[in-house]
Amino acid sequence: MKKMSNKVFQVFAWLWAVITLYPLIVTVFCSFKENNDIYGSMFALPKNWHFSNYKDALFSANMLRAIGNSLFLALGTTILVVVVALLASYTFARMKYKFLTPCFMLFMLGVMIPIHTTIIPISKIAADIGGYDRYWMLILTYTTFQLPQAIFLITGYIKGISKELDEAAVIDGCNMVQILFKIILPISKPIIATVSIISFVYAYSELVFSVILLSSPAKYPVSRSLMYFKGDFSVRMGPIFASIVLAVLPLTVIYLLFHEKVQEGMLAGSVKG
């Protein structure tokens, strides 16, 4: 019975892998095709391999610069989210002030707010404080939308850490700051990795606010640069697919490096939270 269930599980795993990887394979093949080949036979192997699509993506759309811009935005957002969420979560999980519960619920309300309903207010705020065409405005915007989820995950994880560790640290002479950075932080690395990946991917690939708040082509992130090949009467699909492949590479590498921490954080958070 166990052998049969294992075989069924393996078949399902392989089927899921094929379903997951197939769009990526098709994207890679289409990155070497012209429009006619893509529209005529998207799922077939390229008849002629057009490596010039990658040249157009790298130099015409300046994808390397765009990837660098997106990495800067994503790193800035991730660092700010992790620092603020860790400090806030430690306070929510360990402190016992009466006003903390309403504050925590206020943060959780942010999860239910549709992001795009805030476009007009954020545009008005950016105009008032000189945030147009500034990276710091985008980073603050991204951080704002990622904080509720990050605080929810990290707070649940910290609540699952025994308070006896805090008490033992206090006996050894540690203050609250030392407990946070010497005790809580090392134990919370899995959930911090999870939050970091989620925030990084969001900031790296976000489009709407980058369209609204950025006007200089030299500052365009990846998502905005992909629009370069769209004209008034035609769309060059080959270079777009090539740009997508180039844009996905950094995310793929980062996930492969940290996927174990992410999975560990998700599993631990589901149990401890």
Both structure tokens of 165: 């560790």
Backbone angles phi, psi at 38, to 5 degrees: -70, -50
Based on its alpha-carbon atoms, the radius of gyration of the chain, rounded to whole angstroms, reads 23
Q: Where do the domains of the chain lie?
A: 62-272
Residue 230 φ then ψ, to 5°: -100, 115
Are the CB atoms for 157 and 188 separated by under 8 Å? yes
| 228 in Cβ contact with 61 (< 8 Å) | yes
Quote the pLDDT of residue 272.
Answer: 47
Contact assessment for residue 250 and residue 71, using Cβ atoms and an 8 Å cutoff: yes
Q: What whole-number distance in Å separates Cα of residue 227 and Cα of residue 236?
A: 10
Region 62-272: CATH code: 1.10.3720.10
Mind listing the pLDDT tens digit of every residue in the chain (273 residues)?
566 677 778 888 888 888 888 888 888 888 888 888 888 777 788 888 888 888 888 887 788 899 999 999 999 999 999 999 999 999 998 888 888 888 899 888 888 888 888 999 999 999 999 999 999 999 999 999 999 999 999 998 998 888 888 888 888 888 888 888 888 888 888 889 889 988 999 999 898 999 999 989 899 998 888 777 765 546 778 888 888 888 888 888 887 777 666 666 555 544 444
* CA–CA gap between residue 217 and residue 126 (Å, rounded): 19
- List, for residues 146-201, the tens digit of each pLDDT value: 999 999 999 989 988 888 888 888 888 888 888 888 888 888 888 898 899 889 99
Q: Is 0.85 surpassed by the pTM of this model?
A: no
